[in-house]
Amino acid sequence: MCSPRFPLRSLRIPLGSLREPQNQKHMKKLSLFTLLGWIIFACSSPSHDLLITNVNVIDIVTGEVLLNRTVAIDGDEITAIYTKTIKPQAGTEVVDVTGKYLIPGLWDMHVHNNWNYEDTNDLLVANGIVGAREMWGDMKIRRKMDEERASGKPIIDIYSAGVLTDGAPKIWPSSAEVTTPEEAEALVRCQVAQGADFIKVYSRLDSACFFTIGKTAIELGVPFSGHVPDSVSIIDALAAGMLTSEHLYGLQELGYSELELKEVDSLFEVGNRIEALQKGLKFFDSSAMKEKLQKLDLSKHWFSPTMVTLRGVRSMQDSVFTSDPRISYLPNYMTEDWKPRRTMGSQRMMPSLELMQQLYQNDFQILTNLIESKAQIIAGTDYPNPWAFPGFSMHDELEIYVQAGMTPLQALQTATLNPAKVMKNDRIGSVEKGKLASLVLLNSNPLDDINAIREIESVVLRGKVFDRIALDEMLQEAKNKAALPSLMEWFQTVQDMPKELMALENKLDSMSTKYHLSGLEFLINYVGYNLLGENALDQAMEIFALNTRMHPHSQNVWDSYAESFLMQGDTVNAIQYYQKALDMYPCNHVIEKRLLALKP
């Protein structure tokens, strides 16, 4: 029986009502209808799009388990959390999850997702990852993902850096390189204007460029994060306002004396890498590191350890990792670089497995020191680096944090509450009214055992429920796609590659069921440049033009198309297409310099 609650003032009788009304019968009917209306209004259940009933909600802030709640969702938002049973209205979707546990969706705070999201997105969702911090952004790809998300596709949310910003000589060919403070400032301003959420700094920046990047980013109201450069100490990086640092870089040196640090650095400078690593292990003093940490103001800085990648890189010769069955979910192009020879150079220069394991134990000790020092930590995996599996490895990362001394609640916070703080996003991070309805439903309590996050019953992504059947279908589809032969295997069977590529434009759908088409853009470019080298200019131009039709949003293909004109002496068309490429992403200073050199 409903017990409607009326405001007390609604039951007060105005003095004027004590007089007999002229039409008493009419007034009695009106009062009766009014009272019935109040009762109906008070007794009716509110209408919602989705009700998750009988669920145990994990309060991610306090660690309290709120038993037997009903979570109401409308659109992409949590609109209420009820302690009582709510009668569903017509059209309301009801999911009864008696005995299950609800946590906020997880965020992976260090990923390289841009160039592989079509192969990894479903793996992320199926493992409870609802958002990621992209550490090497491409605004064109980000806009494409935004469009797909807006169309209803289950694309995770992205918080993105601009282009990776390095010093000279840059480590990665497609990253940006700055050598003066003026270049550094201009690049930051350009990236922010293009929509970057933060600036990613890298290892070879000199100190002047690093500090200029930091100053400019702070002036523009965006964070700067990434590698602590070789030229800057972790102490100076924190003082400059660096928001997050990755991979524990710069922390090892806190365990050295000044003389020991100089000795290790000198060994690296002369190329004696293995001896430098051995000396570093010998010199490292954990107590000295903790003592220095206690003297630092860590309140405005966050560490992203990426332990699964540190462990993976240190374990590339370990069959325990190289036989991991989760590799079946990833296409060959993602795992080819996991082989030691490709990643670390020749086998002769590869440190022994014993030394690599010692290095990982040292990494683990540094993580333990951070936890004991109450440093602020965010969880990131750095996939697809060696043995960092999209989605799956976030569970591994949190398990490592617990092994290093965190409580399960603290570990969960590194992938939920803490990311919300870092990104200043008050719509995520907890299960509360007004928050984004991106959630993970677990079969058991993760506060008892962090490995409960591996046993996912359902994922809610912006209000849409993906049950266990749907998640398993995502995983199976990813595995089926990963098993397809690569384009390189097709390449080796073709006699007349230019002819086959030209025909491919009209049969992509049928090809996609037989081969994994990732890397098609680069294969077409490869063939085009080979034809240029053979002086088959007309064919080369056709191939480059084909690539612009098949990948019209790629700056790289328009840049190559422009270069093909330039190689034939056609500066007019070269300028036209270099400009088109630059318009796609004005922060590419390499193309900008080419244009300046060509224009009269």
337 within a domain of the structure (yes/no): no
Opening angle at CA 87, ends 83 and 88, nearest 5: 115
Whole-angstrom Cα distance, residue 26 to residue 28?
Answer: 5
Residue appearing with tokens 């936890």: 371
Whole-angstrom Cα distance, residue 482 to residue 214?
Answer: 40
Six-digit token string for 214: 């930091």
Closest CA to 577 of 589, 587, 563, 588: 563
Are 419 and 378 in contact, with CB atoms under 8 Å apart?
Answer: yes
CATH number for the domain that contains residue 509:
1.25.40.10
Closest CA to 556 of 518, 596, 513, 521: 521
64 within a domain of the structure (yes/no): no
pLDDT value at position 518?
84
pLDDT value at position 497?
84
The 3-state DSSP composition of the chain as helix, strand, coil percent (nearest 5) reads: 50, 15, 35
Closest CA to 307 of 229, 362, 234, 375: 362
38 within a domain of the structure (yes/no): yes
Whole-angstrom Cα distance, residue 137 to residue 119?
Answer: 17
Low-confidence ranges of the chain (pLDDT < 70): 1-44, 340-350
534 within a domain of the structure (yes/no): yes
The number of beta carbons lying within 10 Å of the beta carbon of residue 273 is 13
Asked whether the CA dihedral 486, 492, 494, 497 is positive or negative, the reply is: positive
Are 223 and 212 in contact, with CB atoms under 8 Å apart?
Answer: no
530 within a domain of the structure (yes/no): yes
Q: What is the pTM of this model?
A: 0.90
Residue appearing with tokens 């270069």: 563
The number of beta carbons lying within 10 Å of the beta carbon of residue 490 is 18
Q: How many domains does the chain have?
A: 2
549 within a domain of the structure (yes/no): yes
Which residues fall within 8 angstroms of residue 285, CB to CB, at 6 or more apart? 255, 256
Question: Could you tell me the CA-to-CA distances from 291 to 257, 288, 369, 532 in Å, in that order?
Answer: 13, 5, 10, 61
Orientation angle between helical segments 497-504 and 520-533, nearest 10 degrees: 140
Q: Which residues pair with 465 in a beta bridge?
A: 460
CA atoms within 13 A on the CB side of 313: 17
22 within a domain of the structure (yes/no): yes
Q: Residue 321's Cα: distance from chain center in Å?
A: 23
Closest CA to 48 of 99, 104, 87, 9: 87
Whole-angstrom Cα distance, residue 597 to residue 534?
Answer: 27
pLDDT value at position 459?
98
Whole-angstrom Cα distance, residue 349 to residue 341?
Answer: 10
Residue 83 per-residue DSSP state = S
Q: Residue 360's Cα: distance from chain center in Å?
A: 24
Helix and strand numbers, DSSP H then E, in the chain: 26, 18
Whole-angstrom Cα distance, residue 544 to residue 562?
Answer: 9
Which residues fall within 8 angstroms of residue 461, CB to CB, at 6 or more apart? 105, 125, 130, 154, 156, 438
321 exposed, middle or buried (CB, 10 Å; 0-12, 13-18, 19+)?
middle
pLDDT value at position 31?
54
Q: Which residues pair with 58 in a beta bridge?
A: 65
Burial 368-390 (b: 16+ CB within 10 A, else e): bbbbeeebbbbbbbbbbbbbbbb
Are 173 and 161 in contact, with CB atoms under 8 Å apart?
Answer: no
pLDDT value at position 486?
85
Closest CA to 430 of 456, 412, 443, 405: 412
Which residues fall within 8 angstroms of residue 356, CB to CB, at 6 or more apart? 313, 314, 315, 316, 317
User: Mind listing the pLDDT tens digit for each residue in 218-269?
Assistant: 999 999 999 999 999 999 999 999 999 999 999 999 999 999 999 999 999 9
297 exposed, middle or buried (CB, 10 Å; 0-12, 13-18, 19+)?
exposed
Whole-angstrom Cα distance, residue 285 to residue 257?
Answer: 9
Could you list the residue range(s) of the whole structural domain that residue 38 is in?
8-43
Three-state SS sequence of 505-543: CCCHHHHHCCCECCCHHHHHHHHHHHHHHCCCHHHHHHH
Residue appearing with tokens 């004396």: 257
39 within a domain of the structure (yes/no): yes
Q: Residue 288's Cα: distance from chain center in Å?
A: 34
Helix or strand run (H / E) with residue 111: strand 106-111
Q: Residue 139's Cα: distance from chain center in Å?
A: 14
pLDDT value at position 492?
82
Question: Could you tell me the CA-to-CA distances from 217 to 79, 139, 162, 191, 241 in Å, in that order?
Answer: 36, 18, 12, 10, 10
Residue type, 511: M
pLDDT value at position 341?
53
Residue appearing with tokens 């992509």: 508
Phi, psi of 376 (to 5 degrees): -85, 130
Which residues fall within 8 angstroms of residue 425, CB to CB, at 6 or more apart? 159, 419
User: Mind listing the pLDDT tens digit for each residue in 454-500?
Assistant: 999 999 999 999 999 999 999 999 999 999 998 878 878 888 888 88
> How would you list the strands of the sheet with 157-160, edge to edge?
106-111, 129-134, 157-160
29 exposed, middle or buried (CB, 10 Å; 0-12, 13-18, 19+)?
exposed
Phi, psi of 589 (to 5 degrees): -75, -20
Residue 388 per-residue DSSP state = -
